[in-house]
């Protein structure tokens, strides 16, 4: 059966608005499909619009005139505006903690404007929010009309907002529920709630996000205010999640021709984020990029040293580059958390490069480097694994002295080395359950003593997709990752991506190589979802000029145990 179509729409009796204005508020216009629900919604929209302009007693009559075959329906609207009510004056009474001038400046309602009930309710919420900022979370505000003055065509209503301030609340205790392995002191420390501070709802909202960012709780409730024997307190409910993470990535690189077999690459990352329930962290990382190259790293972080917002970490790394050399070293980091989202670190490191003993012509000299650096991190992401809003910015600078062992190698001079690194990852919800993610990354190393062992390497699943792991090297590199994600669940989504990268590699007289510089790009699709094995990610990527058969497949498993 064909739907009923709206024919004519007649609007009578209105003087404050034209029939064209009123028709623009409606969904049932001539030619639209008729439904009784849409007709009711349109009627409510008209009433609300008139009341927002001060016509509080307006009356609306509606009629439907159906054709004999019900193919069309004419709609008739008759409006009786009655008298308009304006806001004569607005006063505040009962306030002592917050001045009347400060409160009145917050209000959108103004004398002489139409009396809008919804706007007045919004103003009441603003007043209560300001009282909460001043430590009065139990304040009440009610609307009291004092006098109604009638005019020839309009009425004037004087309104008073009456405030009951209630007690000023200082936080004297914090209770934690739901933690089984994590020490209560860790939750109190990371919440950064100070005993005796005034209750501030904005600060309480950041507590939940701060605890979630520890990545040791599966859920954290909004802190709840309570009063017990006139003592103010906050209750924090947490639910512990798995604090150990196994992250695995596997890839297959096809051979280049007959007799050249393909090979697997891989990444294993084991992270323990809550050792002994104290939020101490330890991490192990192993990566195999090709047949002959691999990387190993292990690190440990001691949080809140001396009960200060100071995290101290140490790590060790070793890299074997094909059959040319081994690069190994360690570093120590002291991170000062200036706020919930901003941290500054001082870093000291040392490393050595050892050419392979069986190398007949060493590509790099035997050397050792000692350096110091500073790092700044600003992180506002709402989730570490699948952010929907926020950004992460990281920048660092390192200055070091490199000494070449001239007794074993005369290739290259000793000298100073500087390193610069910039990372920016931004996330924004575009539409419901749709997120646009953009990452911009840059690296540069410079100095007279720089050799191939200190070049930056990129390419593969975590940088420029569509290429082999660490396929490109250079003294100056950069890449951009753009993803459009469709969320299927909290940490599950499908996405399309486009990556672009750049590298610059200087000439090397010893190896007889010339300057290398190029732009590359990759694109593809991917999926991340929860499975019995953990959080599984699969992506398919094509590089510049690749055919479908040359595409790269990357598989990643995020398994919590």
Q: Which residue has the tokens 């593809």?
A: 524
- Average pLDDT of 270-293? 85
Alpha-helical segments (H) within 139-286: 184-191, 201-212
Rounded to 10°, the helix 201-212/117-133 angle is: 70
- The CATH code of domain 5-80 reads 3.10.20.310
pLDDT score of 556 more than 70: no
Residue of higher predicted confidence among 395 and 194 = 395
Q: Please give the pLDDT value at position 218.
A: 80
The rounded distance, in Å, linking the Cα atoms of 281 and 142 is: 51
Q: Please give the pLDDT value at position 410.
A: 46
Q: How many beta carbons lie within 10 A of that of residue 384, not counting itself?
A: 12
The rounded distance, in Å, linking the Cα atoms of 151 and 202 is: 45
Closest CA to 75 of 16, 118, 117, 34: 34
Residue of higher predicted confidence among 285 and 407 = 285
pLDDT score of 471 more than 80: yes
pLDDT score of 359 more than 70: no
- Average pLDDT of 384-413? 80
pLDDT score of 558 more than 70: no
High-pLDDT (> 70) share of the chain, %: 92
Alpha-helical segments (H) within 192-341: 201-212
Residue of higher predicted confidence among 451 and 5 = 5
Q: Please give the pLDDT value at position 512.
A: 54
**Three-state secondary-structure class, residue 39:** helix
The rounded distance, in Å, linking the Cα atoms of 144 and 365 is: 85
Q: Please give the pLDDT value at position 214.
A: 82
Q: Please give the pLDDT value at position 406.
A: 59
**Tens digit of each residue's pLDDT (9 = 90 or more) over 86-107:** 888 888 898 888 988 889 888 8
Q: Specify the range with the lowest mean pLDDT, choosing from 14-18, 77-81, 298-302, 359-363.
A: 359-363
Average pLDDT score, the chain: 86
Tell the CATH topology of 244-560.
Answer: Porin (2.40.160)
Q: Are 466 and 541 in contact (CB under 8 A)?
A: yes
Buried b (16+ CB within 10 A) or exposed e, 245-277: bbbbbbbebeeeeeeeeeeebebebbbebbeeb
Q: Please give the pLDDT value at position 6.
A: 92
Contacts of 291 (CB under 8 A, 6+ apart): 263
pLDDT score of 392 more than 60: yes
Contacts of 195 (CB under 8 A, 6+ apart): 171, 172, 173, 174
Please tell me which of 182-186, 257-261, 343-347 the model is most confident about, judged by mean pLDDT: 343-347
Q: Please give the pLDDT value at position 513.
A: 59
Backbone angles phi, psi at 212, to 5 degrees: -65, -35
Q: Specify the range with the lowest mean pLDDT, choosing from 52-61, 249-258, 288-297.
A: 249-258
Q: Specify the range with the lowest mean pLDDT, choosing from 181-195, 264-278, 393-407, 527-541.
A: 527-541
Q: Please give the pLDDT value at position 393.
A: 96
- Average pLDDT of 18-42? 92
Backbone angles phi, psi at 122, to 5 degrees: -65, -40
Residue of higher predicted confidence among 456 and 273 = 456
Q: Please give the pLDDT value at position 202.
A: 81
The rounded distance, in Å, linking the Cα atoms of 384 and 180 is: 23
Q: Say which CATH architecture domain 84-164 belongs to.
A: Roll (3.10)
> Domain spans of the chain?
5-80, 84-164, 171-240, 244-560
Q: Are 479 and 458 in contact (CB under 8 A)?
A: yes
- DSSP letter at 44 equals H
Per-residue pLDDT band at 231 (split at 50, 70, 90): confident
Q: Specify the range with the lowest mean pLDDT, choosing from 40-49, 398-407, 473-482, 496-505.
A: 398-407
Backbone angles phi, psi at 312, to 5 degrees: -120, 130
pLDDT score of 19 more than 80: yes
Beta-sheet pairing, 280-288 with 263-275:
antiparallel
Q: Please give the pLDDT value at position 399.
A: 94
Q: Please give the pLDDT value at position 560.
A: 52
**Tens digit of each residue's pLDDT (9 = 90 or more) over 110-120:** 888 888 888 88
Per-residue pLDDT band at 437 (split at 50, 70, 90): very high
Q: Are 377 and 343 in contact (CB under 8 A)?
A: yes
Q: Please give the pLDDT value at position 312.
A: 96
pLDDT score of 360 more than 60: no
- Two domains, one topology: 84-164 and 244-560: no
Q: Say which CATH architecture domain 171-240 belongs to.
A: Roll (3.10)
Please tell me which of 37-51, 227-241, 265-279, 521-535 the model is most confident about, judged by mean pLDDT: 37-51
Q: Please give the pLDDT value at position 534.
A: 55
CA angle 380, 382, 385 (to 5 degrees): 110
Q: Please give the pLDDT value at position 240.
A: 85
Q: Please give the pLDDT value at position 356.
A: 76
215: left (phi over 0), alpha (psi -120 to 50) or beta: left
pLDDT score of 555 more than 90: no
**Tens digit of each residue's pLDDT (9 = 90 or more) over 203-213:** 888 888 888 88
Q: Specify the range with the lowest mean pLDDT, choosing from 83-92, 329-338, 389-398.
A: 83-92
pLDDT score of 349 more than 60: yes
């Amino acid at each position: 059966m064909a739907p009923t179509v709206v024919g004519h729409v007649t609007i009578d009796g209105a003087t404050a608005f034209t029939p064209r204005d009123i028709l623009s508020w409606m969904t049932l216009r001539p030619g639209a499909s008729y439904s009784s629900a849409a007709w009711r919604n349109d009627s409510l929209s008209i009433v609300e619009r008139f009341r927002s302009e001060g016509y509080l007693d307006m009356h609306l009559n509606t009629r439907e005139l159906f054709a004999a075959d019900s193919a069309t329906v004419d709609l008739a609207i008759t409006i009786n505006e009655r008298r308009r009510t304006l806001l004569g004056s607005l006063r505040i009474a009962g306030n002592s903690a917050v001045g009347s001038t400060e409160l009145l400046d917050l209000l959108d309602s103004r004398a002489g404007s139409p009396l809008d009930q919804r706007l007045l309710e919004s103003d009441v919420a603003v007043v209560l929010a300001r009282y909460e900022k001043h430590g009065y979370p139990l304040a009440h505000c009610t609307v009291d009309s004092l006098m109604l003055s009638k005019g020839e065509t309009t009425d004037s209503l004087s309104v008073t907002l009456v405030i009951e301030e209630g007690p000023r609340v200082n936080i004297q205790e914090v209770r934690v529920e739901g933690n089984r392995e994590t020490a209560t002191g860790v939750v109190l420390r990371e919440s950064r709630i100070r005993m005796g501070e005034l209750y501030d709802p904005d600060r309480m909202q950041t507590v939940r996000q701060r605890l979630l960012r520890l990545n040791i709780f599966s859920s954290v409730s909004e802190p709840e205010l309570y009063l017990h024997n006139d003592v103010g307190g906050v209750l924090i409910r947490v639910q512990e999640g798995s604090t150990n993470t196994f992250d695995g990535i596997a890839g297959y690189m096809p051979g280049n021709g007959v007799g050249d077999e393909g090979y697997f690459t891989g990444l294993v990352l084991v992270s323990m984020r809550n050792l002994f329930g104290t939020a101490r962290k330890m991490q192990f990382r192993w990566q195999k990029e090709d047949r002959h190259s691999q990387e190993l790293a292990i690190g440990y972080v001691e949080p809140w040293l001396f009960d200060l917002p100071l995290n101290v970490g140490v790590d060790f790394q070793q890299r074997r580059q094909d059959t040319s050399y081994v690069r190994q070293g360690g570093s120590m980091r002291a991170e000062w958390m200036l706020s919930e989202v901003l941290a500054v670190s001082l870093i000291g490191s040392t490393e050595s490069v050892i050419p392979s003993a069986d190398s007949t012509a060493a590509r790099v000299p035997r050397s050792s480097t000692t350096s110091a650096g500073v790092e700044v991190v600003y992180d506002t992401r709402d989730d570490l694994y699948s952010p929907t809003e926020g950004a992460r910015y990281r920048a660092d600078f390192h200055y070091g002295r490199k000494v070449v062992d001239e007794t074993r190698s005369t290739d290259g001079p000793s000298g100073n080395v500087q390193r610069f690194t910039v990372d920016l990852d931004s996330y924004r919800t575009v539409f419901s359950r749709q997120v646009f993610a953009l990452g911009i990354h840059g690296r540069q190393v410079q100095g007279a003593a720089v050799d191939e062992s200190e070049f930056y390497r990129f390419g593969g699943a975590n940088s420029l997709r569509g290429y082999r792991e660490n396929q490109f090297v250079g003294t100056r590199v950069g890449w951009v990752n753009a993803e459009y994600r469709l969320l299927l669940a909290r940490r599950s989504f499908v996405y399309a991506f486009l990556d672009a990268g750049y590298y610059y590699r200087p000439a090397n007289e010893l190896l007889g190589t010339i300057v290398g510089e190029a732009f590359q790009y990759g694109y593809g699709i991917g999926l991340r979802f929860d499975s019995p094995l953990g959080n599984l990610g699969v992506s398919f990527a094509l590089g510049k000029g690749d055919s479908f058969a040359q595409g790269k497949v990357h598989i990643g498993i995020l398994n919590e145990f």
